[in-house]
Amino acid sequence: MTDGPEQKSQFAPVDEQLDLLMRGAVDLVTEDQLRDKLRRSRETGRPLTVKAGFDPSSPDLHLGHTVLLHKMKHFQDLGHRVVFIVGDFTAMIGDPTGRSLTRPQLTAEEVANHAETYKAQLFRILDRDRTVVDYNSRWLDKLGSNGIVRLAGRYTLARMMEREDFRSRFESNQAISLHELLYPLVQAYDSIALEADVELGGHDQIFNLLVGRDLMKEEGLEPQVVLTVPLLVGTDGVEKMSKSLGNAIAVEDSANEIFGKTMSIPDELMWDWYLLLTELSDSEIEARRRAVAAGDLHPKHVKQELATRLTTDLHDEAAAVRAAAEFDKVFAAGGLPEDIPFHAIEGPLALPRILTQTGLATSNNEARRLIQQGAVTIDGERSSDPFLELTAQQEPYVFKVGKRRFAKIQIS
C-alpha cells in the first residue's frame, strides 16, 4: 500500500517522520526496516515502541544525555510510545563501552538513589504524561542464574571480542572481567522483554544495540531498528561532555550556570549544539550560520539565543531572562554576581591554599598555575604572586578566578 495523501492516519507521512527522526542521527540499521515499521504503524494506528536505556551510574544527567532525550522526544512528538529504561540491573554490572579499565561495581542502594534523580530530571525534556518509565530489574531479576546461563549460551566469545574496546583491552593485556561480557547480553534482553520496535543510543553503543537485533531474531521476534546519535562535545570544544573532565553542563545546574557555561563554548561548536539540543529547524540553523559567515550577524548574538533556549528548556523563560541579565552584568559590564559563595577560613594563609580550601582551585598546582597566569583577582586587583599571604581584615575579600568563579572569603 502506498503512503499517499488520501490515506487517513493519526501519524504523519513516513517521509515527513523520517526527516525529523534522521535529524542529527549517526547510524540507522536499517532505513528500509524503519520505513516499513512506520508504514505499518500508519496503517494500523499502532504506535512504535521506542526504547532507550540509561544506567544510573552517577547522580546527574548532563546535556550530553539530553541529546538522546531529544531524539526520544522526536518519536514522542510523532505519536509513538517512548520507554525510558532505568538500568538499575545493568548499572550494577557497569557498561564497559569505551572503557580501558573495569568499572567499579555500584551497590543497589547507590543505583536506587541515582535512579530517583534521573526520574526527576528527564521530564525537563520529555512529556511526563506520555513517557513510560520502567526498570530493567523487573525482568532481569526474574531470569535468575539459569536464565543468565542460557542467555550467555546464545553468543560466542569470538563475536563478543569483535567489540573494539574488548579487543583493544585484550591485545594490550588489560583486564576484562567476565561480568563485563554479560553487559551487551542483558541490555539486549531489555529489547526482548519490551518487544521493542526501535532502540536508541549513543554512537558508541552501536555494538550493544546490534546484539539486541541478533537476540530478537533468535527469539523469533521482529528485530528492532537501531538508531544512534552523536556524542556531544563538551564546553571545552574538544572532548566529549563528561562531568569528570569538567566540561559538562548538568541538567540540574542553575539557570545562571547553564547560560554562562553555554556562552563560554567555542563559536564553531554552537552549530552542533543547535542541531542536537534545540528544536530549531535545519533551515533556520543554516540561515544563522550563513549570516554569521557573511558578517551580517555577530556570533555572540547567536550564542546568546542558544543559551536562552537551553536555559528555558531546563528551567523556564523567566529564569532565562534573569540569567541573561546576570550574564551581561557580570561579564559585559564587569559587575559581580548577586549570589557569590561565602567562605570563612583561618589565616594568615598563602594564596594557593586559600584557593584550594575554598574550592576555587582543585589542587595547589592548579592554584599556582592560575595565579601565575594572572587569572586571580582580589578586590578587583590582579594578583600574580603565588607566595602572597592574606591576613585577617574586617570585610571579606572578593575573589574572582577566571571568568566564572567568584567567592567572598572572610579570613579570621
Whether the predicted pLDDT of 4 surpasses 60: no
> Domains, the chain, ranges and CATH?
14-229 (3.40.50.620), 253-332 (1.10.240), 342-411 (3.10.290.10)
Query: Which band of pLDDT confidence, cut at 50, 70 and 90, is reported for residue 152?
Result: confident
pLDDT score of 246: 82
Q: What are phi and psi of 128, to 5 degrees?
A: -60, -40
What are the DSSP E strand ranges found in 175-266? 198-202, 225-229
For the chain, what percent of residues have pLDDT higher than 70? Answer: 93
What distances in angstroms separate CA 307 from CA 74, 87, 108, one per listed residue?
A: 21, 31, 37
Higher pLDDT, 49 or 151: 49
For the entire predicted model, the pTM comes to 0.77
Query: Which band of pLDDT confidence, cut at 50, 70 and 90, is reported for residue 162?
Result: confident
pLDDT in tens, 207-254: 889 999 999 999 999 999 999 999 999 999 999 998 878 899 999 999
Distance CA 120, CA 364 (A): 36
pLDDT score of 394: 79
- Mark out the alpha helices in 92-153 (DSSP H runs): 108-122, 137-152
pLDDT in tens, 331-356: 765 666 767 788 888 888 889 999 98
Mean of the per-residue pLDDT values for the chain? 87
Higher pLDDT, 337 or 67: 67
Question: In sequence order, what are the beta bridge partners of 343?
Answer: 409
Beta carbons within 10 angstroms of residue 321's beta carbon: 15
Helix (H) / strand (E) element for 66: namely: helix 63-77
Distance CA 383, CA 351 (A): 9
pLDDT score of 146: 87
Higher pLDDT, 169 or 102: 169
pLDDT score of 6: 42
pLDDT in tens, 15-26: 999 999 999 999
| Residue 102, all three cell numbers | 573495569
SS3 322: helix
pLDDT score of 169: 78
Higher pLDDT, 335 or 169: 169
pLDDT score of 5: 45
Whether the predicted pLDDT of 199 surpasses 50: yes
Whether the predicted pLDDT of 274 surpasses 90: yes
